[in-house]
Amino acid sequence: MTELTRRRALALAAALATPALLPGTARAQAAYPNRPINIIVPFAAGGPTDVVTRLVAEVMARDLGQPVVVENVGGAGGTLGAQRVAQARPDGYTLLLHHIGMGTTPALYRRLAYDPVNGFETVGLVTEVPMTIIAKKDFPAANLAEMVRVMREQKQSINLANAGVGAASHLCGLLLQSAVQTQVTTIPYRGTGPAMTDLIGGTVDLMCDQTTNTTQQIRSGAVRAFAVTTSERNAALPDLPTAAEAGLPGFEVSVWHGLYAPKGTDAAIVARLSRSLQVALRDERLVARFAELGTTPVSQERATPDAHRAYWQADIAKWRPIIQAAGQYAD
């Protein structure tokens, strides 16, 4: 063998051996996903965000060809679960599905063990859920105007339940008190489930929460509903007026849900997850189940990393002055 031939043979052998020498992360990216994916829900099981996540996870699992396991890590207004994901290995196997709290946490918490803005890669928006203003079934008001009158007259003797500081129900409650210019007694719970249980039982008077958690209770008559907090009536609750129709013009709030990966997750993995999310949001069964819960999936264009990040940043800017004006912080 000549020296030239020997060199060519060595070069060819090196080229063929290169794939076996790729770093583990590169091989994992090429085969992603090759094991179960974990989606952290930073709230208790059975709540609105948990319900949305499990519907999405079921379809994504079929599309990705791997189990998508939902794990509930509640506590501290959703920050414990978010922290776990922010500090997780950025390999696409630990994700976060969170609600509007991602837009309010930067203002609500002044000290956190993770960066609530720069600690994540956005995968895509999932849905925007309307809120409803509800009361225990024997609350002494037949409509929203009468409810506002009772709030103003009885003030601190009225109990307004929420799922904890920073929860969607807490934020909606802040806006409601601001809109009616009255402060009532707020009762924080460890999750929407126990708050709803006490509302149905008559222990507390009022609550403002997502249609994903209230629609069935309203339909069954377990609670009294006064309004939906969107500009248009909700298809799942067509007889329920909007807050504007019922006497609170400009009172609009919805709870969006988004999917995230830890900061530094490979762009190809984020793109694959985003495509899978878009598949899920087109699934007929998921769309039907969302409709039963009083919501709809967002458009395909909004279920992308860039679109969601822009929306998220705008929401942070929207909520910061509201929270600072209220002076209610979670730490």
Q: What is the pLDDT of residues 35-56, one digit of tens each?
A: 999 999 998 898 888 999 999 9
What is the arithmetic mean of pLDDT over 4-32? 51
Joined together, the tokens standing for residue 175 give 């806006």
Q: Does 112 score more than 50 pLDDT? A: yes
Distance of CA 253 to the CA centre of its chain: 14
- Return the pLDDT at 326: 76
**Contact in structure between 202 and 183 (CB atoms under 8 Å):** no
- Return the pLDDT at 30: 63
Query: H-helix or E-strand containing 136?
Result: strand 120-136
Closest C-alpha among 125, 131, 96 to residue 281: 125
What is the arithmetic mean of pLDDT over 159-175? 87
Comma-separated ranges of CATH 3.40.190.150 domains in the chain: 35-129+255-326
- Return the pLDDT at 170: 87
Q: pLDDT grade, residue 76 (50/70/90)?
A: confident
Closest C-alpha among 38, 97, 32 to residue 267: 32
Q: Does 238 score more than 80 pLDDT? A: yes
What is the arithmetic mean of pLDDT over 301-323? 93
**Contact in structure between 296 and 127 (CB atoms under 8 Å):** yes
Give the torsion sign (CA, 252, 256, 262, 265): negative
Comma-separated ranges of CATH 3.40.190.10 domains in the chain: 130-228
What is the arithmetic mean of pLDDT over 89-114? 95
Q: Does 266 score more than 80 pLDDT? A: yes
Domain 130-228 classification at class level = alpha beta
Closest C-alpha among 189, 194, 190, 229 to residue 209: 229
- Is pTM beyond 0.85? Reply is no
Reply yes or no: is the peptide bond before residue 33 cis, omega within 30 of 0: yes
| Cα distances (Å, whole numbers) of residue 227 to 43, 107, 167, 215, 260 | 25, 28, 19, 12, 31
What is the arithmetic mean of pLDDT over 135-153? 97
- Return the pLDDT at 142: 96
- Return the pLDDT at 20: 44
Joined together, the tokens standing for residue 119 give 């600690």
DSSP code at position 241: P
- Return the pLDDT at 327: 80
b/e per residue 304-316 (b: at least 16 CB within 10 A): bbebbbebbeebb
Strand pairing of 37-41 and 94-98? Answer: parallel
Say how many C-beta atoms besides its own lie within 10 A of residue 137's C-beta.
14
Q: Does 220 score more than 80 pLDDT? A: yes
Q: Does 278 score more than 80 pLDDT? A: yes
DSSP code at position 238: T
Joined together, the tokens standing for residue 253 give 């709030």
- Return the pLDDT at 15: 43
Q: Which of 145-149, 168-172, 275-279, 309-313 has the lowest mean pLDDT?
A: 168-172
Phi, psi torsion values for 271, nearest 5 degrees = -65, -40
- Return the pLDDT at 229: 94
CATH classification code of 35-129+255-326: 3.40.190.150
CA angle 317, 319, 320 (to 5 degrees): 70
Mean of all residue pLDDT scores within the chain: 90
Q: pLDDT grade, residue 167 (50/70/90)?
A: confident
